[in-house]
Chains A and B, each alone.
Chain A
C-alpha cells in the first residue's frame, strides 16, 4: 500500500509539472474599446493599460513602459551579443523602462519554428517579440501570414529610411510591405591576409579569380549556397552569374528564358573552378565562421564577409590576424539590408516597436558600424535624411573611422549591385546542388 501511495505521489508531481501554470501565462491583451480609440484620435488620448495606437507614438511608449521585450537574435557572435546588451539594453532601460531579454538562437530558423509551432498550437500571445530576420525566414513567416502587419513605415525613425530604394522595400526579392524594419546594411566582400598576398596580386573579377585559383590550387573555396547559413555563398554565385551574363540589371525581374540561357554557363564556370578549390570542391564550408577559420588556419587564402568593417570586427575579436584586409571586385558585389520583424502573436508589441525604432536612431546607427563595438554592419538609414546637425556629424565621423581593414567606401560604392528577383534564390541554390555539388 505504501508503495502505491509513493508511486501515486510521484505520478501526480510529474503531471502537475507538465500542466501549464495559469498564473505565469501572459494575459491576452483585451480588444481595444472602439469608443476609446475614437476619442483618442479626437481628444486627449486615453488607452487601456497595454493598449496603443501605432499612429500615436506616445501611446506606444506608454504601453511599452515596464514591459520586457524578448528579442530572438542569432547568438553565434559574442561581440554582437555584448553590443546588443551594452548599447540597446542599457538605453531601453534608462530611456523607456523596458527590459531587454536577448534570446540567443543558433539559427534564425529556430525562432521561426517557435512562432510556427505556437501558431499551430493556438498559443496567442506567444513568447517571441522581435526577430532579427533574414530574407529566407522572412519569406517563411510572410508565407504563413504570421507577421504583425503595417508598422515598419509608421515608427518615427522610418522617415530616416529610404523606403523607395528597392534594396530596402524588397528583401531577397520578397516585398517588405511594412512587415519588417531595417536594422543595418551589408555588402558582399572578400577578406585576405595582406601578410600572405600582395594587394597588387588580388583578383578583381570572377575571370581573374578563376586564373588565380587554378594557379594556387586548393587555396580558394566559397561558402556552400545550399546551407541555411550559406547566404554569402549565394551572393558569391549570383555575382558570378552577373559577371558571366554581362551585368546585374537584367536579373532584377524574373524571366525563365534569361535563366535558361545563362545558368548552364554559370555551372560551367563553377565546375571549371571546382578542381582548383579547397578539397577539390568535394565539400564546402557551411557558413562564414567556417570559411574564416580556414583562412585563419592558412588552409585557404580568402574568406568572405558582409561586414561594412571588412575584417575589422574579426580582428577585434582575435579571429583573424591584424594584417587581414577586405577587398571587392570591380563590380557585381551584392549589397542588401537586414531587418527585424514582430510576430503577429508577440506578447509585447509596444516594446518591440520601441526597440525597432531605437535601432534606427542615428546615434546607434553610428555606433553599430565602428569595428571596436563589435557589430560591424552598415547604416540602414539614409544619412542624407538626417536633419539634426549633431547626429549628422556623428554619422559622418563614424564612417571615416572604419580603419585599414575595411574596404574603402569608394570601392564599395563602385562595385555595389542589388540582389536578384526572389525566384532566382531557389533556382541558384538548388541548381548549384544538382549541377555543381553533385555534378562532375
Chain B
C-alpha cells in the first residue's frame, strides 16, 4: 500500500506541483483580484467588473485598442502556427526519408536553433532585417537598392511580418523534432508497403505519414499557438506601436501612471490567460485521443 503511494506519479510530482500551484496560483488569485479593481493602496476595496466592461465595450483608452489587438494577436499567432506546422512537416518528412546514417546530425541541426533564446533571435532579426540593418546595407552597397531606406519593411511593420518571421523560424525546428520523433518510432515498413502497392509520393504523404503524425502535430501546433499568443518580448521588439499584440497592450496599461488604469491591464492579461487555457485544454484532449 505504502509502495503504491510512493511510486504513484502524483506523489513524485508533489514538490513541483505544490511549488507551481502556490506560486502561480497566488499570482493568479492576486491578478483576478486586481482585475476586479481591488487596490488597497488607493483605498479601492470593492469588487467591480468595470475593467472588463471597459475593455470589452471598446470604450476608453484600453478598450479602444482591445478588439483590434485581439484580432492582430490572432492573426499573428494563427499564421505563425500554420506556416511553421506546414514547413515543419516537410522538413521532418524529408529528414525521415534520408534516415540512413545522418540521424544525429539532423537532430543536432534542429536542436542548435532551439538553444537561442527568443530575445536573442529577435534582436538578431532586427539587426539583419531592419531598414538600417545588415542586409539592407549590403543590398545598398551592392547597388540592389539605392538607399538603405528602400529596403522593404520586414520588421516593425504594421502587419506583424517581423513577428511572424521570428516565430516561424523558431518553431519549425521545435515542431519538426516532434514529428520526427513520431516518424522515427514507426517501422519503415509502412512506407515501403505503400510504395510497393503503387502509392505515389504524394499519396504516401497524404495517406500514410499524415495520419501517423497528425495527433502529435496538432497538439504541438496548439502549444505553439498558445505560446505565441501569450508572449510579450518578441512583439514588443519586432512590433509597431499600433496595432499591438495583447500582451504588449496589457503591460502598457498595467504600468500606467494612473493606478486606476491598471485594472484594465490585468483584465487584458486574464483574457489572454483564459484563451490560452482553452487552447491548452483542447491540446491535452487531442493528445489523449
Contact = CB atoms under 8 A, between A and B. Distances in A.
Interface stretch (A20-28, A220-228, A366-374): A220-228
B257 interface: yes
Contacts of A139: 257-258
A19 interface: no
Interface stretch (B11-19, B97-105, B172-180, B221-229): B11-19
A177 to B, nearest CB: 17
The B contact surface, by secondary structure, is helix
Interface string B250-282: 001001011100000000000000000000000
The A contact surface, by secondary structure, is helix
Interface residues on B, range: 20 to 34
Chain A CB within 10 Å — which of B241, B258, B259 has the most?
Answer: B241
B255 A109 contact: yes
Interface stretch (A123-131, A328-336, A383-391, A431-439): A431-439
A154 interface: no
A146 interface: yes
Interface in A275-316: 279, 282-284, 286, 293-294, 297-299
B64 interface: yes
28 contacts: A3-B6, A4-B6, A7-B15, A10-B15, A136-B257, A137-B257, A139-B257, A140-B258, A140-B259, A144-B41, A144-B259, A145-B41, A218-B149, A279-B153, A282-B158, A283-B156, A283-B158, A283-B241, A286-B241, A293-B132, A297-B148, A298-B132, A299-B132, A430-B61, A433-B61, A433-B64, A433-B242, A437-B242
B259 A294 contact: no
A7 B12 contact: yes
A116 B241 contact: no
Interface in A26-83: none
Interface in A137-152: 137, 139-140, 143-146
A94 to B, nearest CB: 38
A211 interface: no
Interface residues on A, range: 35 or more
A284 B255 contact: no
A14 interface: yes
Contacts of A433: 61, 64-65, 242
Interface of B: 6, 11-12, 14-15, 18-19, 40-42, 61, 64-65, 131-132, 148-149, 153, 156-158, 240-242, 252, 255, 257-259
Nearest to A18: B19
B149 A143 contact: no
Given A120-B40, A144-B42, A146-B41, A14 B19 contact: yes
Contacts of A137: 257
B241 A226 contact: yes
Given A283-B158, A283-B240, A299-B132, A113 B255 contact: yes
Nearest to A146: B41
B64 A434 contact: yes
A426 B62 CA distance: 13
Contact of B14 (A11, A113, A228, A438): A11
Nearest to B18: A11
Given A11-B15, A433-B61, A140 B257 contact: yes
A4 B14 CA distance: 12
Nearest to B68: A438
A102 interface: no
A11 B258 CA distance: 41
A119 B255 CA distance: 16
B42 A143 contact: yes
Nearest to A134: B257
Given A139-B257, A226-B241, A437-B241, A116 B41 contact: yes
A232 to B, nearest CB: 15
